[in-house]
Amino acid sequence: MGVSLDRLNEMEIEGLRRDLLTWYHKHGRKLPWRERVDPYRVLVSEIMLQQTQVDRVIPKFEAFLARFPTLESLAEAPTAEVVRLWQGLGYNRRAVRLQAVARAVVERHGGRIPASTEELLDLPGVGAYTAAALRAFAFNLEDAPVDTNVRRVVHRVAYGMEYPPRVNDHALSALALALVPRGRGHAWSSAMMDVGATICTSRAPKCLVCPLRNRCAAAPIDPARLQEAARAYAPPRGPQARLRFEETTRYARGRIVERLRALSREQSVTLEELRALVGRDDVSALVEGLERDGLAAIDGDCVRLP
């Protein structure tokens, strides 16, 4: 049975909500940013969780909050210190972006993270997903942060297996939002993410133990058939995708940032040293890109953290 809104009555919607929330209250993940709901803690967790697995984020989240316990303390800190503490999470631009959000909230909102979509989207680097996540998780509002997991769950429940996709991402996001129960934004979005991360997974969904199995258009899914369909639908890989990770620009940038992290506040490193470190001739361009992203400061031939 599919659950697209054009053929789902209110009773079926309520059944879907009841089944998922009952499961979540028994089996939902115990995560530190859920233990004490606070907009600042939610903001930190959401930026850290972008492109980084939960298990890696948990210890870094605790350490980050121990050093920067308030939004004001993060806003006032030297950027170099924030970047140093981000070590191990990757995608270092997120550290700079997180601090930029903190500073904007202090300057524009007196240190209180706003709850309206418009004000959240006006903050530097905050897009539709992060705004929806803050509204749902920090303020328990009826919003739906739709990540890869949520998108997959919604497609399978409503339209069947996602290869090939039956509807576009906009339609899936609209359906995900329509399913949020009134006054349960936090629990519902947490439940959707948990079932997608632990049961309705991309490669090996556990349909037999899924709380939505009786309401899902895709269930039961044969993992072998799923993987075959995914391979058939996969787009051709581009030139960058064929490179070994050690040959990518991302890897070289990461090694440069790690070298800068190891410096004291008074130290710097030369471009020639960085060229020897990464074995690339385009080090100047890489460092200039890091400077634009707020991750490096260039003084002549010397480079340091900002």
Q: What sign results for the dihedral spanned by CA atoms 235, 240, 243, 244?
A: negative
8 pLDDT band, cuts 50/70/90, is low
Please give the tally of structural domains in the chain: 3
Tokens of 106: 């202090």
Return d(Cα 161, Cα 170) in angstroms, integer.
Answer: 17
pLDDT at 7 over 70: no
Catalytic option among 46, 76, 119, 273? 46
**Residue 46 a catalytic site member:** yes
Q: Is residue 7 part of a domain?
A: no
222 pLDDT band, cuts 50/70/90, is very high
Q: Which helix (H) or strand (E) holds 302?
A: strand 302-304
0.85 surpassed by pTM: yes
Q: Is residue 249 part of a domain?
A: yes
pLDDT digits 0-9 by tens, 10-44: 777 889 999 999 999 999 999 999 999 999 999 99
pLDDT at 141 over 90: yes
- Are 208 and 259 found together in one domain? no
**What is the predicted pLDDT for the residue at 244?**
83
Q: Is residue 25 part of a domain?
A: no
pLDDT at 136 over 50: yes
- Are 61 and 112 found together in one domain? yes
Return d(Cα 196, Cα 144) in angstroms, integer.
Answer: 14
What percentage of the chain has pLDDT greater than the value 70?
95
Sheet of 269-270, strand order? 269-270, 302-304, 297-299
What single-letter DSSP state applies at residue 207? G
Please answer whether residues 155 and 172 qualify as being in contact, where contact means their C-beta atoms are separated by less than 8 angstroms: yes
89 pLDDT band, cuts 50/70/90, is very high
- Are 199 and 229 found together in one domain? yes
CATH number at residue 168: 1.10.1670.10
- Are 135 and 152 found together in one domain? no
**What is the predicted pLDDT for the residue at 3?**
46
pLDDT digits 0-9 by tens, 230-283: 998 877 666 655 678 888 888 999 999 999 999 988 899 999 999 999 998 899
pLDDT at 1 over 80: no
- Are 55 and 77 found together in one domain? yes
CATH number at residue 108: 1.10.340.30
pLDDT at 113 over 80: yes
pLDDT digits 0-9 by tens, 164-194: 999 999 999 999 999 999 999 999 999 999 9
Q: Is residue 8 part of a domain?
A: no
Domain range enclosing 153 = 144-183+191-233
* Average pLDDT of every residue of the chain: 92
Mean pLDDT of the 69-93 span: 95
CATH number at residue 275: 1.10.10
pLDDT at 157 over 70: yes
**What is the predicted pLDDT for the residue at 41?**
97
Identify the burial level of 229 via C-beta atoms within 10 angstroms of its C-beta, where 0-12 means exposed, 13-18 middle and 19 or more buried: middle
- Are 135 and 42 found together in one domain? yes
* C-alpha closest to that of 86 among 94, 77, 75: 94
Return d(Cα 94, Cα 217) in angstroms, integer.
Answer: 37
